[in-house]
Amino acid sequence: MSDIGWKFMSDGDWILLSKVVWCIFIVGWGIIRYRPNRQARKVKIGKTSRTLKERFSMAISFSGLGIVPAIWVFSGYFEQFNYSVNPVLILIGAVLILVALRLFRITHKALGAMWSHSLDLREDHKLVTKGIYEKVRHPMYSAFWLWALAQAFLLPNLLAGFAGLVGFGTLYFLRVGQEETMMEDEFGEQYRDYSARTKRIIPGIY
Ligand code: SAH
């Protein structure tokens, strides 16, 4: 870090800051999810596609975004995977994680009670294609990708940092095709038209 010249904080301070930002993010994310979770649970699930593969990928994702970084943040484990602190990377991570938080809020507001943490269709499920859903088909997964990327920048530990990309990446690639098939089976032409005019994660690109 000394070659960058940010000497007003020691490496230990920067590591502590990265851990504090991560904790603030997790609490903020929990707060954002609390109400939509309660609201959505009031609406019955009409159909579900929760397969064993889906449960497995949710567990991997939860470990990579939550458990592995939490172990590093709160205990002395994995410290052998720490790398030298670079404040610029930590600050980029902090900014990205705040953007992710904002995007979570926007997507939850747009999806409302149609949200589910797994592959479910609510009774009388409506296809949301407005607001942020006009830009991409999976803005909540965009927010998760941002979270995973932010984690890699923010936490100066190879294991805790990159676990999110591996964990969420596994969930994303195992789930997204299945989710789109489920939506197409339910909404037919309407979903095919919607897919034809939107990308998955990055507006206009991917
Ligand atoms: N893939 C979306 C939603 C994630 S939540 C995103 O990334 O923003 C997962 C649930 O949302 C799925 O079970 C599905 O029922 C529901 N869902 C996904 N896309 C939807 C849409 N455009 N309109 C309504 N519900 C949708």
The model's pLDDT over 46-66, given as tens digits with 9 standing for 90+, comes to: 888 888 999 999 999 999 999
Residue nearest to atom 12 of ligand 1 (CA): 119
The Cβ-side half-sphere exposure at 172, using a 13 Å CA radius, reads 20
Residue 5 has pLDDT above 80, yes or no: no
Residue nearest to atom 15 of ligand 1 (CA): 121
Average pLDDT, whole number, for the chain?
Answer: 93
Residue nearest to atom 22 of ligand 1 (CA): 128
Ligand 1 centroid to Cα of residue 8, in Å, is 45
pLDDT band, residue 41 (cuts 50/70/90):
confident
* Bridge partners, 157 (sequence order): 82
In sign, the C-alpha dihedral spanning 60, 65, 66, 71 is positive
Ligand 1 centroid to Cα of residue 55, in Å, is 17
pLDDT higher for 6 or 35? 35
In this structure, are residues 112 and 30 in contact, taking their beta carbons and an 8 Å threshold? no
- Report which ligand 1 atom has the smallest distance to the Cα of 142: 7
In this structure, are residues 135 and 198 in contact, taking their beta carbons and an 8 Å threshold? yes
* Bridge partners, 82 (sequence order): 157
Residue 3 has pLDDT above 60, yes or no: no
Taking the C-alpha atoms of residue 169 and residue 148, their distance in angstroms, rounded to an integer, is: 9
Taking the C-alpha atoms of residue 99 and residue 142, their distance in angstroms, rounded to an integer, is: 11
In the chain, the DSSP E strands lie at 45-48, 120-122
Strands 120-122 and 45-48: antiparallel
- Provide the pLDDT for residue 55: 92
Candidates 180, 177, 198, 179; CA nearest to 129 is 198
- Ligand 1 binding pocket (C-beta < 6 A) is 107, 111, 114-116, 119-121, 127-128, 133, 138-141, 179, 183
Residue 108 has pLDDT above 70, yes or no: yes
Taking the C-alpha atoms of residue 206 and residue 37, their distance in angstroms, rounded to an integer, is: 28
Structural domains of the chain sorted by starting position, each given as residue range(s) with its CATH number in brackets: 7-196 (1.20.120.1630)
Residue 67 has pLDDT above 90, yes or no: yes
Average pLDDT rounded to a whole number, residues 127-151: 97
- Provide the pLDDT for residue 206: 85
Residue nearest to atom 13 of ligand 1 (CA): 119
Average pLDDT rounded to a whole number, residues 62-84: 95
Residue 4 has pLDDT above 70, yes or no: no
pTM: 0.94
Residue nearest to atom 16 of ligand 1 (CA): 115
Ligand 1 centroid to Cα of residue 115, in Å, is 6
Ligand 1 centroid to Cα of residue 133, in Å, is 9
- Provide the pLDDT for residue 9: 87
> Is residue 4 classed exposed, middle or buried when 0-12, 13-18 and 19+ CB atoms within 10 A define those classes?
exposed
Taking the C-alpha atoms of residue 111 and residue 120, their distance in angstroms, rounded to an integer, is: 13
Residue 1 has pLDDT above 80, yes or no: no
- Provide the pLDDT for residue 49: 84
The model's pLDDT over 144-158, given as tens digits with 9 standing for 90+, comes to: 999 999 999 999 999
Residue 100 has pLDDT above 90, yes or no: yes
The string of DSSP codes covering 144-174 is HHHHHHHHHHHS-BHHHHHHHHHHHHHHHHH
- Provide the pLDDT for residue 187: 96
Ligand 1 centroid to Cα of residue 93, in Å, is 26
Taking the C-alpha atoms of residue 148 and residue 65, their distance in angstroms, rounded to an integer, is: 7
